[in-house]
Structure formats: structure tokens, C-alpha cells
Amino acid sequence: MAIEGVDPQRIGRELGGAAVTVDPALPEPVRAGIGELVRRPLGPGAEPRIHVGPTLPELGPGERLLWMHSTNAGVDTLLAASAGWPTGTLLTRTVGRMGERIGQYVLAWALAELQNIPAFLDQHVSRTWNRLPTELADGTLAVVLGTGGIGAGIAAALRPSGVRTVGAARTARPVPDFDEVFALGAPDGSGAPSPELAAALGAARWVIDALPLTPATAGLLGSGFFGAMDGATFLNVGRGATVRTEALGRALEEGRVAHAVLDVLPEEPVGPGSPAWELPRTTLTSHSAGPTTAADVLTDFRAAWHALDAGRLPDLAVHLARGY
């Protein structure tokens, strides 16, 4: 799908003469790998600029940003911080093996819950010897909100254990690694889940938020979504601001949500006085489910470079209207 105002063939023609800069905070292996790929010294110049980093670079007078490769998968902060994205500038993002990492994170929490590991750890601390019940994963249901690379990685990790995976996306459609995919929202635009998704939420053992933060998803998960749940564990590995924390707190108090595992929150880092620490039956994991590595940045930048060199739009190009 084309991106309005972005011409990959024009950008490809300008690659050879563009100045390339890398955020100074990035590790040396990233700088070295990018320098080897572009075959020129890194640094600003008189030509159009290509920049690799987490934030927009400062441009000199008359300097034009041709392409920015974000070192993060989520670009909501980047887009919100800019005073309007530069016209004609391509934005790509880093995903790397994040879907695989986050999939293993979700799988680890799910299996730990089924095997009653938290209770066994408590027993060890109290030196108590009791046999505790455990369960098989086969036949359980996980609902994954978001069916992109991260959501698909979660489904791919869960399915070999026999977990049935239902995805939720903007529209209902077949997606690899998911048993079914339902529309995320009700057709009336009320912000409530679609009827099919609401039924799945009520039957789910786990509900996993893997949504990007966009104008359509900001604060989307509120009383309508949590009210449809019936004792599931909720995990957020997407973006903190997709969740209305007060609605999650009420759902935990009412038992609609049995346990919450929050890797992300609306405001980070979370200080010791934050009310998030007081949510009942909740575990915070400090935005560590899917760290981005130097290899991820290099792999995705290299793939985008070769795509543009061939006149094609990179797979990880950000569609600004969508926000991802």
C-alpha cells in the first residue's frame, strides 16, 4: 500500500548521495554496521539526510530529512512529539525478533499460571509442603488484541501448547497463526468490542493487548472491554495508553479480571508512589517483554535500505494515517 507523499523510487535514487546520521546514544555495533552498509562516513552533510535513532534529528538550515529509521517498534511518541511529520519523509521502524520475544514472554506467564508456579514460590518461602493443582494448556483460549507482527508472534508461541488463539483487528479476516480473527470494535462506533469479540473475551483464559497506540486505540480498553471478561488474566505488552487504568482497577476489584500482568503503562518509568503498584493481583514488569537489540536495528534498517535501493516501499514503512 502506497503512503501519501512518499515516493520510494525517488528516495531510492537519492540513497547514494544522502548524508547518514546515527543517534550518538546507539551502541557502536549499530554505527559500524550502518557505516559498512552505506559505504561512507557517518555524519551530517549538504545532501538530504537519512537518520537512525529514537527521535527526530535537529536539521540545519535548508537541510531536508529524506528518511528516518526509528529504533523503536512503536512510533506514537515520535509522531506526537513532532510539529507535523515532514512532507515526503519516509518513516520506518524496528521490529526485529520482538514478536518472538514477546510471544515467549506471554507463553512463560501462561504456563507459569497453569502450573501454579506463583503459589509454589509462596509455599517455598513459607516452607510449606502441599501438592497444588495444575492444568494443561490444551483447549484453553487466548484472545490477542492486535494481529500484526507482535500479535502473530504471541499466537505462534501459544498454539503449539494447544492454546486456541483468537485475534482482534480492525476488520475480521483470516490471519496466519490465528484460529479466528474478529473485528475489534462494534460497528456502531461505540467503543465497545464487537459482539463476536465480546463472546470470546467472556470465554478467554488470557486476554493479551498487543495494540499499537493510535488515535483509534488510545483509551480503547475500558469498561466495555473489561466488562465482557469473566475471570481472564490480562496482559499488556502493547502500549500503556490503550488501557484505561481506572477501568482495569475496577475489573480487578470485581473479579472480571483475575490477574493483570502489565509490561507497559501510560506513564513510564513508574515511580514508587504510582497507584499502579496498588492495583490488586497485578504484576508490573518494567517494559522488558520485548527489548530491541543492535541486531534488530541493523537487520531492519538493512532490509529497508535494500528495498528502497530497488525502488520498493519497505515492509516496515509507517503509514502515518494509521500510526504504524
Mean pLDDT of 145-163: 97
Evaluate if residue 81 carries a pLDDT over 80.
no
Bond before 269 cis per omega within 30 degrees: yes
Among 172, 169, 171, smallest CA distance to 150 is for 169
Q: Does residue 58 carry a catalytic annotation?
A: no
Catalytic residue among 31, 287, 302, 319: 287
Segment 163-187, tens digit of pLDDT:
999 999 999 999 999 999 999 998 7
Q: Does residue 287 carry a catalytic annotation?
A: yes
Q: Please write down the HEC assignment for all residues of 74-93.
A: CCHHHHHHCCCCCCCCEEEC
Evaluate if residue 124 carries a pLDDT over 60.
yes
3-state secondary structure of 116: coil
Among 138, 139, 122, smallest CA distance to 130 is for 122
Q: Does residue 268 carry a catalytic annotation?
A: yes
DSSP string for 256-310: SEEEEEES--SSSSPPTT-GGGGSTTEEE-TT-SS---HHHHHHHHHHHHHHHHT
- Give the model's pLDDT for residue 294: 95
Q: Are strands 49-53 and 19-22 parallel, antiparallel or unpaired?
A: parallel
**Residue 80: which pLDDT band, with cuts at 50, 70 and 90?**
confident
- Give the model's pLDDT for residue 83: 63
Catalytic residue among 36, 173, 268, 306: 268
Take residue 318 and report the three cell numbers written for it: 509507517
> Which amino acid, 48?
P
Mean pLDDT of 212-218: 92
- Give the model's pLDDT for residue 45: 87
Catalytic residue among 205, 239, 244, 256: 239
